[in-house]
Amino acid sequence: MSENPDESSLLELPPPRSASGSCTLELALSRRRSRRDFQPTALEPDQIGQLAWACQGLSDPRGLRTAPSAGALHPLGLMVATPEGLGEYLPDSHTLQVRSRRDLRAELTAACPGQDWPRRAPAIFALSADPQRVLMRYGAQRAARYLHLEAGHAAQNLLLQAIALELWATPLAAFDDAQVSRVLGLPEGHLPLYLIPVGVPLRQPGRP
Ligand SMILES: Cc1cc2nc3c(=O)[nH]c(=O)nc-3n(C[C@H](O)[C@H](O)[C@H](O)COP(=O)(O)O)c2cc1C
């Protein structure tokens, strides 16, 4: 998947905060809003790491994650596109595996017909799924349902964590699947489920 051997490197992320934070859940719920206007400010590695952890990070020594997963099969994948490139989140090591050193945000935006706002987000998270991980256990019909339910759980974690970090995050699903898969370099058979552009708000959360 890498474009050259140098791109297979791992990026360490600062350890996530799992027991502290100044925003209550109630405040995050009441402030969550889909906003599409971001400052050009880049996200810091600790912000990217915290968002990735909230979405798919480990929260239990048995390998369980912050979002529930049917049968603990964990079929979801998480990537993040930033000006520096594309990284795949590896929950076990809380690192980013570099998949590309190109800024792919404009190409992802081009895969969203009629939408120009995602390109202004300093980070675009992408949730995908590997159906093979659940097909054997649950069969085609339930597997398809479970993948989408799991993406919803994971995405909502990310949206609420963004608010707690005083960032905006907006879910986006109106995209061309084949185009998004190509830009992300998803393996054959994997499904792109959600894009979530994230950025520093133009205005403070709770003060529209
Ligand atoms: C499954 C789903 C897909 C969505 N796709 C898009 C999208 O493609 N583009 C967009 O701008 N917003 C998208 N949204 C965000 C909705 O427009 C937004 O949630 C809605 O307007 C309600 O506003 P709120 O999120 O601030 O409550 C999507 C939301 C969901 C749940």
CB 52 within 8 A of CB 58: no
In a domain, 87, yes or no: yes
Any ligand 1 atom below 6 A from CB of 33: yes
CATH code assigned at 42: 3.40.109.10
Distance 176 CA to ligand 1 centre (A): 16
Q: Atom 6 (ligand 1): residue with closest C-alpha?
A: 172
Domain presence at residue 4: no
Domain count, the chain: 1
With respect to residue 122, please indicate whether it lies within any of the assigned structural domains. yes
Q: Is the pLDDT of residue 208 over 80?
A: no
Q: Is residue 37 part of a domain?
A: yes
**Which position has the token pair 């991980």?**
133
pLDDT of residue 19: 85
Q: Using the mean position of ligand 1's atoms as its centre, give its distance from the Cα of residue 2 in Å.
A: 32
Domain that holds residue 46: 27-199
- Look at residue 21 in the predicted model and tell me its pLDDT: 87
The pair phi, psi for residue 144, each rounded to 5°, is -60, -40
DSSP E strand stretches across 75-165: 76-82, 85-90, 95-100, 123-129
C-alpha span between 90 and 55 (Å, rounded): 12
Query: Within a domain: residue 18?
Result: no
Residue pLDDT, tens place only, 98-146: 999 999 999 999 999 999 999 999 999 999 999 999 999 999 999 999 9
Structural domain contains residue 151: yes
Domain membership flag for residue 66: yes
202 pLDDT band (50/70/90 cuts)?
confident
Give the model's pLDDT for residue 80: 98
Q: What's the average model confidence in pLDDT over 7-35?
A: 90
Mutate which of 34, 117, 147 for ligand 1? The one with the most ligand atoms within 8 Å of its CB, which is 34
Query: How many alpha carbons lie under 13 Å from residue 134 in its C-beta half-sphere?
Result: 26
pLDDT for 165 equals: 96
Residue-level pLDDT at 7: 47
* Average pLDDT of the residues of the chain: 93
**Percentage of residues of the chain with pLDDT beyond 90:** 90
Alpha-helical (H) ranges within 45-119 are 45-56, 105-110
Determine which of 16-20, 161-165, 175-179 has the lowest per-residue pLDDT on average.
16-20
Residue 20 forms part of a structural domain? no
